[in-house]
Structure 1
Amino acid sequence: MSDTVHVRELTDDELTDAWNLGRHAFGSDPQPPPHATAAMPGLTRYGAFDHTGRLRGKAVDLHHEQWWSGRAVSAADVAGVAVAPEARGRGVARALLTGLLRGAHDRGAAVSALFPTVTAPYRACGWDVAGVLRTVDLPTVALPRHRPAPHLTVRAGTPADLPAVVALYERLARDRCGLLTRRGALFDRDYGGDSLPFDGLTLVEHDGQLAGYAGWDRGRGYGGDAVLTVEEVFACTADAARELVAVLASWHSVAPTLRLCLLDGDAISAHLPLEALREHEQQPWMHRPVDVTRAVAARGWPAHVRGHVEFRLTDELADWNTGTWRLEVADGEAQLTRVTAEAGLHLSVRGFALLYSGAGTARSVADAGLLRAAGTDPGALDLLASGGAAQLLDYF
């Protein structure tokens, strides 16, 4: 097989072949869901074809947005990367990701995240591990029980409540870093339809306003191995958090295990017996800039941080990012401008990703070989990491 592949967007009549390629890679059900072989808004599907026109690999650019300190940043989140067994190790994935990044850049994306099955190929293409999506188990019986608060109303939610659910999620997510906005066509199917995206939805209201919710899937059985999976649980007050935890505790007789993903430092976590949790699953996620100027200018920055630093950036897949830059941060804003002077700090795109997402300090990035200081204090680049640590809660 020739090592040269051509990357382009897939046509509708090629989607079945792309599904089968992914099915073989990920062990999916032989019968594709309807959306897998039909045109879908909110994403771009790419294919890599060899010189004979055969599909050798595929990848999907999800047109997400991510919250970064109060601002929605356009993202090209990557999913469904698969390469035919006979074509692996021949640069197909690199060609796919290069084409995807160029297309994402052309449509205005600023950043990109993905969940890898293996990290090495993505690191070679500029992504790096920025965090871990942790799924934990708690003994339901260990949850504290509280008497119902008289000023709160607890009730089952319906599809008519989903706009309020989305609004509460946005209120809690927007001031953090990395969380998806859950806006747009890809989320309309789950949060804008006539059915719930969960088995059940529990709401906590105060004076008719939503103060907390839990979306859960019941699972099967009621014996010792029964699990209640909480797909998402959020509260904007301590009282609402206590109420939701008490509702979840009430499942102890039929679902001994509670399974959920927690948002670091949120109201729910503050009322859970975290000493009793057990790790169920850890899924690392990776990040990289699509366009460094957009990534810096589009996000929010801490209002108390001021400073500037110059550095040289190298990005082999996205050459528009390569160059010498001056980063200036002040008054909750930041910008990158090109400069012609030499810079003592030489940063790889992986190092940029780690700093931007708050996953490392300049010194730790330098220790990892992703930043060369050349006699300059690497700590100056901590300015790029001043936005705090990012987190993802949505698997894609």
Structure 2
Amino acid sequence: MTTDVRVLQPDDWERWFSGLELAFGGVREPDEARAFFRDVTEFERSLGVWDGDGTVGTAGAFSFRMTVPGGAAVATAGVTMVSVAPTHRRRGILTSMMRRQLDDVRALGEPLAVLTASEPAIYGRFGYGVATQRLGARIRTDHVRLQLPPGTEEFTLRLAEPADVLDSCEAVYARQAAARPGMLVRRPGWERQGVIDPAQERAGASALQCVLAERGGEVAGYARYRLKPEWEGAGVPAGVVTVEDLEASEPGAYAALCRYLFDLDLMSTVAMRNRPSDDAWQHLVSDIRRCSVALRDGLFLRPVEVGAALEARTYATDVDVVLDVSDPFCPWNTGRWRLSGGPKGAVCARTDDPADLTLSVRELGTVYLGGFSLAALAAAGRVREERRGALAAASLAFSGTAAPWLPHGF
């Protein structure tokens, strides 16, 4: 086999993206979505593997900043559009792209790389660990009541065309992103992703709709959603409200939006597909058993530079621990690291001191945002305690106050 790995050129984008579509089932993306991804593609960070004139492998990265525990927005490579043609599987193409990509990420000085996985089993061998969860639910609003907090009545609601209020919604999102680990500080242009609305992907539901929660003329929250009228039995309304986005900067605004979504006429179910695992509606509903809650993996994360990554976040309690890290794919991370810090910051440097905990870079990625604990991984045999008491102390230090969450794919 003779293949050529090279940086993507603008003139090759159509063939490159078509190769990606073929690897993901051969269905062409709607023109609106294609135009968006063309606009946000960072050509200098995108790789194509070519066999003659055909694309047989694709991989890209976006230059993101991601909120980490403590509130810092850390430079992060958003790994994306990874595919290998079905004719060229098991020939080392994926490994070669991952190798090139992580070397490039390191050269750019980005301490973290993240991705969403169509097949989670693929990326563990490259050091990525699942770091966030996404909560889904189907809430039977004909059986569930909301217990609203004080201040809900202070907010008025206003319907608007989603594209017409992007700036107001993006300001709310930015406030939320600064407070929750895992959320991306969106670069200009990325706000458009939330209002891409091709008719062929609505599956019988309405066009995207948007409602704003306002107080004193200021937008404090928004929800984007679709309605799908359905009927059962002898004409009993059983429609579904599918919530695409829901953000609010105050509890009253959040509750007002939830009440609106739960009370829409002819609808009996609110469907949520991607919400944080600690989403507040779970504490507003009268009967959580009627909500069919389910969790699945969200963001996968790998530290590209262990020392810089651990220094970029803060810790819930004071911590002084020596981590013995293995990282076969990025061997510059392998070895012992002393992490010393707390709520105000941390330092992490190489050391010859004896290890307190032994783990791989994959486990470090899993606990990095505070959504999973070192103690849980130790119970699964994936972290080993070398010094008695070190596990409990470090597990507490890595914990967070808000569940990490990635609100949208890339």
1:141 correspondence with 2:142: yes
Is contact 1:356-1:387 (8 Å) kept? no
Is contact 1:363-1:378 (8 Å) kept? no
Once residues 154 and 360 of structure 1 are traced to their aligned partners in structure 2, the CA distance between those partners, rounded to angstroms, is 37
Once residues 28 and 76 of structure 1 are traced to their aligned partners in structure 2, the CA distance between those partners, rounded to angstroms, is 27
Find 2:341's aligned residue among 329, 353, 356: 329
1:25 correspondence with 2:23: yes
Is contact 2:5-2:47 (8 Å) kept? yes
**Aligned-pair distance for 1:104?**
1.9
Q: Any residues of structure 2 matched to 1:294-305 within 5 Å, and which?
A: 294-302=308-316, 305=317
**Residues 252 and 306 from structure 1, CA distance in 2 versus in 1: closer, same or farther, beyond 3 angstroms?**
same
Return the TM-score normalized by structure 2.
0.81
Is contact 1:310-1:326 (8 Å) kept? yes
2:66 paired residue number = 66
**Residues 78 and 85 from structure 1, CA distance in 2 versus in 1: closer, same or farther, beyond 3 angstroms?**
same
Once residues 284 and 37 of structure 1 are traced to their aligned partners in structure 2, the CA distance between those partners, rounded to angstroms, is 21
Count of equivalent residues = 384
1:312 paired residue number = 324
* 5+ residue gaps, structure 2: 197-206, 233-237
Once residues 203 and 74 of structure 1 are traced to their aligned partners in structure 2, the CA distance between those partners, rounded to angstroms, is 31
Once residues 87 and 346 of structure 1 are traced to their aligned partners in structure 2, the CA distance between those partners, rounded to angstroms, is 37
Once residues 306 and 374 of structure 2 are traced to their aligned partners in structure 1, the CA distance between those partners, rounded to angstroms, is 17
Once residues 58 and 259 of structure 1 are traced to their aligned partners in structure 2, the CA distance between those partners, rounded to angstroms, is 33
1:218 paired residue number = 227
2:160 paired residue number = 157
**Aligned-pair distance for 1:201?**
1.4
Is contact 1:134-1:281 (8 Å) kept? yes
**Could you give the per-residue CA deviations for residues 77-118 of structure 1, whole angstroms, max 9, x where no partner exists?**
222211111221232212211211122222232222222222
2:201 paired residue number = none
**Could you give the per-residue CA deviations for residues 245-290 of structure 1, whole angstroms, max 9, x where no partner exists?**
221123241x332112333434444323432112578454322112
Secondary structure of the equivalent of 2:118?
coil
Is contact 1:245-1:271 (8 Å) kept? no
Is contact 1:131-1:359 (8 Å) kept? yes
2:302 paired residue number = 288
Find 2:6's aligned residue among 5, 8, 15: 8
Return the TM-score normalized by structure 1.
0.84
Is contact 1:7-1:99 (8 Å) kept? no
Once residues 70 and 63 of structure 1 are traced to their aligned partners in structure 2, the CA distance between those partners, rounded to angstroms, is 18
**Residues 348 and 207 from structure 1, CA distance in 2 versus in 1: closer, same or farther, beyond 3 angstroms?**
same
Q: Any residues of structure 2 matched to 1:309-388 within 5 Å, and which?
A: 309-343=321-355, 345-374=357-386, 379=391, 381-382=394-395, 385-387=398-400
1:170 correspondence with 2:174: yes
Once residues 149 and 292 of structure 1 are traced to their aligned partners in structure 2, the CA distance between those partners, rounded to angstroms, is 44
Q: CA RMSD in A?
A: 3.2
**Aligned-pair distance for 1:126?**
0.5
**Aligned-pair distance for 1:127?**
0.7
**Aligned-pair distance for 1:355?**
2.4
Once residues 14 and 223 of structure 2 are traced to their aligned partners in structure 1, the CA distance between those partners, rounded to angstroms, is 36
1:202 paired residue number = 211
1:227 paired residue number = 240
**Residues 149 and 38 from structure 1, CA distance in 2 versus in 1: closer, same or farther, beyond 3 angstroms?**
closer
**Residues 84 and 151 from structure 1, CA distance in 2 versus in 1: closer, same or farther, beyond 3 angstroms?**
closer
Is contact 2:311-2:348 (8 Å) kept? yes
Once residues 94 and 195 of structure 2 are traced to their aligned partners in structure 1, the CA distance between those partners, rounded to angstroms, is 34
Is contact 1:236-1:267 (8 Å) kept? no
**Aligned-pair distance for 1:329?**
0.9
2:253 paired residue number = 240
**Aligned-pair distance for 1:320?**
2.9
Once residues 395 and 245 of structure 1 are traced to their aligned partners in structure 2, the CA distance between those partners, rounded to angstroms, is 23
**Aligned-pair distance for 1:350?**
0.9
Q: Which amino acid aligns with 2:270?
A: L
**Aligned-pair distance for 1:179?**
1.8
Once residues 166 and 206 of structure 1 are traced to their aligned partners in structure 2, the CA distance between those partners, rounded to angstroms, is 17
Once residues 195 and 21 of structure 2 are traced to their aligned partners in structure 1, the CA distance between those partners, rounded to angstroms, is 28
**Residues 369 and 269 from structure 1, CA distance in 2 versus in 1: closer, same or farther, beyond 3 angstroms?**
closer
Once residues 342 and 7 of structure 1 are traced to their aligned partners in structure 2, the CA distance between those partners, rounded to angstroms, is 42
**Could you give the per-residue CA deviations for residues 133-162 of structure 1, whole angstroms, max 9, x where no partner exists?**
232211232353799965322112354543
Is contact 2:243-2:270 (8 Å) kept? yes
**Aligned-pair distance for 1:351?**
1.6
**Aligned-pair distance for 1:326?**
1.1
**Could you give the per-residue CA deviations for residues 304-337 of structure 1, whole angstroms, max 9, x where no partner exists?**
x212111222222223322321111134211211
**Could you give the per-residue CA deviations for residues 27-65 of structure 1, whole angstroms, max 9, x where no partner exists?**
243366343784635573222346x68533111212222
